[in-house]
Chains A and B, each alone.
Chain A
Amino acid sequence: MTNKVMPTLDKTEVRLMKGNEALAEAALRAGMQAYFGYPITPQSEVIEYLMAEQPKHKNCVVLQAESEVAAINMVFGASGAGARVMISSSGPGISLMQEGISYMASAQLPCLIVNVQRGGPGLGTIQPSQGDYFQATKGGGHGDYRLIVLAPGSVQEMADFVFEGFRLAEKYRTPALILTDGALGQMMEKVSLPPLGSLPYPDTPWATMGKKPGEKRHIITSLFMQPEEMEEVNMTLQKKYRLIEETEVRYEEFGVDDADVLLVAFGLVARICQKAMQQARARGLKVGLLRPITLFPFPEKRIAELSARVASVLTVEMNAGQMLEDVRLAVEGRCPVHFKGRMGGMIPSPDEVLEAIEAIAEKHNVELQR
């Protein structure tokens, strides 16, 4: 069963593509008007693909910046000038962008940021990871702000969420982020794509495009020197985030109705968990899976509901337990919350997850072979 609320796009073409390329192609088809980036593994295919395709899309600027710092500030300028803009990177580059992202959240500028995660901290590894969950969902840069965070679980969703990311960013005038990983970026799968022009452009009366005679000038700023004014801006932002929490939560669930053990996992790991769940069910274990699609807003209400019905929750991530904290906050002690994680570029196998499920089943005397 799925509960994902996604606008349906008319798909007209099927291709076999790498995740990164599907994302780049989707951005062009979504009518992206500017992309700024800096190469970093495992997502350099995004800028490479865009550079190669750019001649077919004369209305889209594709520019390799001198750094991620410069790139995000180019995004700031282009977005402030009313353009639909995307930027992509991985861990170290996303870290460098944080000041600019904070500025954009404050100045209420839309853009789509893509983080194809690799293992960290530090220079880390180029292998896939989910170690940037905290950075993506809790703010990342300075000040009280949130990003809309979408977590694709397939190459198809790498493409679909570009449309959704742009749409949400523009609807709420805030940066949205696609949090994916090196495996999804590099793997090849079948992907259906909509035609060019599937996403209408929003009105941007606030953009700096030149002051029209008789009209007021436009100012894009994140500076509000008077504390009263700054608090006002903060209240506006918080109101927006609450509205997003009320209206934009997306998740997908499988076999939760009779589940004793509820798996919670996002992105690639949710697919691994689906496999583990099948294996567990074949052994008679009642296991369900909830996959958050939006990491902010987080499906905390649904997790809270389910936690009242299941015997325990198992969160599986490619990190040391980051979403785990949000799951615990949602569960609020209604049942035990367990964790299985691999770090530093290691991907948990379905067998490992199954083992963890079995250990929990035993611990809580969940009946085997029912």
Chain B
Amino acid sequence: MDLPPITNGFELVYQKPQTLTETPMHYCPGCGHGVVHRVLMEVIDEMGLQDRTIGVAPVGCSVFAYEYMNIDVQEAAHGRASAVATGIKRVLPDRVVFSYQGDGDLAAIGTAETIHTVNRGENILMLFINNGVYGMTGGQMAPTTLLGMKTTTSPYGRETSLAGYPLKITELLAQLPGSYYVTRQAAHTAAAVRKLKKAVQLSLQYQLLNKGTCFIEVVSNCPSGWKMTPTESNKWLEANMFPIYPLGDLKTPAQPMN
């Protein structure tokens, strides 16, 4: 028996943006990476920037971002995404350029590039996915790992005498005159996603106006690395990550830091 399509009589109000490819994402169930990809690509689509945007993927779980993003992408060496983005933006200043990095990539091996890219005020968007661990390599300690948090390289919990403190690199970057807009967002609830989307929109608008570096940290989860279900990981995120990495704007054009 032929059934009429169940969408008959419905209006199409939401669909996959054309800036995302058909390739199924490889991310673990519940992982924030896929959501952030979606938000970013949706904004690029809505702002009509697909033909002039160049992305830079990191080494980390999102190394294959170019499989999903239907735009031109370069895949950088571990930690060097912002240097690669600098190279692109400097020779193609009228294009929109973003880097997309995890916490190991951006705040450990790539710290120097991160700070100097922002300090030069490179006209790019830097997206920073802070999930507190090295997801790709199997859940090792990251610079952003919380104190006491167990990872495969801090099996008894991160302890300061050995491993120092969670690195709040976003606070640090907000101090630099080169950064124009610095914000910390999340992607684990619909409300958080809406705010994140707003931040991405603002960042790209600022980039089109050549305002300087826009930096968005997304405090995210890693269900696999944290050894939790997606739901547990989101609860844990709110209870443990947010107190150390509180959400909100750190620097806006209206409220620049001194």
Chain A positions within 8 Å of B, measured between CB atoms, are: 33-34, 36, 61, 63, 65-67, 69-71, 73-83, 85, 99-100, 103, 107, 208-213, 217-223
Contact = CB atoms under 8 A, between A and B. Distances in A.
Given A70-B80, A74-B83, A208 B73 contact: yes
Contacts of A73: 76-77, 80, 83-84, 87, 113
Nearest to B69: A217
Contacts of A211: 50-51, 70-72
Given A70-B113, A223-B75, A76 B91 contact: no
A77 B87 CA distance: 5
Contacts of B84: 73-74, 76-77, 80
Interface stretch (B52-60, B188-196, B245-253): B52-60
A81 B92 contact: yes
A70 B88 contact: no
Interface centre among A65, A103, A217, A218 (most CB of B within 10 A): A217
B87 A210 contact: no
Contacts of B37: none
B118 to A, nearest CB: 11
B74 interface: yes
Interface residues of B, number: 34
A50 B90 CA distance: 16
Given A73-B77, A81-B91, A66 B66 contact: no
Nearest to A100: B77
Contacts of B54: 81, 208-210
A36 B90 CA distance: 11
A219 B66 contact: yes
B112 A209 contact: no
B213 to A, nearest CB: 14
B92 A74 contact: no
B79 to A, nearest CB: 8
Instruction: Give the 7 A-B CB pairs with smallest separation, nearest first.
Output: A77-B87, A73-B83, A208-B72, A74-B87, A77-B84, A73-B80, A78-B87
A210 B95 contact: yes
A77 to B, nearest CB: 3
B147 interface: no
Contact of B90 (A34, A70, A76, A208): A34
Contacts of B66: 217, 219, 221
A10 B57 CA distance: 43
A100 B87 CA distance: 13
Contact of B51 (A67, A75, A210): A210
B92 to A, nearest CB: 5
Contacts of B87: 34, 36, 73-81, 85
B112 A222 contact: no
A100 B80 contact: yes
Interface in B93-136: 95, 112-113, 116
A217 B54 CA distance: 10
A70 B73 contact: no
A221 B67 CA distance: 11
A77 B73 contact: no
A163 B72 CA distance: 29
Given A208-B74, A209-B95, A221-B74, A78 B88 contact: yes
A77 B83 CA distance: 8
A66 B75 contact: no
B116 A70 contact: yes
Nearest to A225: B64
A107 B56 CA distance: 14
B56 A77 contact: yes
Nearest to A215: B51
Nearest to A109: B74
B86 interface: yes
Nearest to A80: B74
B85 interface: yes
B167 interface: no
B169 interface: no
B129 to A, nearest CB: 18
Contact of A67 (B53, B74, B112): B112
A74 B74 CA distance: 12
A61 B90 CA distance: 7
A220 B75 contact: yes
B86 A74 contact: yes
12 contacts: A63-B86, A74-B83, A75-B87, A77-B76, A80-B84, A85-B91, A210-B53, A210-B92, A217-B66, A219-B74, A220-B73, A223-B75
Given A70-B116, A78-B88, A217-B72, 18 more contacts: A63-B86, A66-B112, A70-B80, A71-B83, A73-B80, A73-B113, A74-B86, A76-B76, A76-B84, A77-B74, A77-B85, A77-B88, A78-B91, A81-B87, A85-B87, A100-B77, A103-B77, A217-B71
A80 B55 CA distance: 12
A85 B84 CA distance: 13
Nearest to A214: B51
B63 interface: yes
Contacts of B50: 211, 213
B25 to A, nearest CB: 15
A209 B51 CA distance: 8
A69 B83 CA distance: 9
A76 to B, nearest CB: 5
Contacts of A217: 66, 69-73
Contact of B91 (A61, A99, A103, A213): A61
Given A73-B80, A77-B85, A210-B53, A66 B113 contact: yes
A36 B87 CA distance: 9
B88 A80 contact: yes
Contacts of B83: 65, 69-71, 73-74, 76-77
